[in-house]
Structure 1
């Protein structure tokens, strides 16, 4: 029984770590920041939208809402063409 509990605990922890790694929020933010550092030709509206989406993505990430973070960050990347 104790061995089974240990195995189940290990499986549960492995699953939890896989979910944590499934979200790539920090790398998406780095990609957006890198593109912004090249001063891409964006309209003022698009530039403001990208900045807003980037900030939302980071806030969602810090709040543990990774699906929402990825939506915001991917939308920002789409506007930037990356």
Structure 2
């Protein structure tokens, strides 16, 4: 899945491609569309219950060069006794 725009005006299309691709990888789109700001920034929120993760992406309407604002949230876990955390 690629959020990288192909050109300066392509960030909107990149978010749309991501919206189409995420469900194919176990993500559920829970929100998509303009926010309530005066700029009507496009936002995408998706959750993946199996991975216990969520993502919130905002395409800022007035930013230049176009860049997304991305927040990723994951569940909190406790490492079982006798096991190690895998770092990626």
Q: Is the TM-score greater than 0.5? A: no
Larger relative contact order, structure 1 or 2 (CA cutoff 8 Å, min sep 6): 1
TM-score, length-normalised on structure 1? Answer: 0.31
- Which of these two proteins has the greater Rg computed from alpha carbons? 1
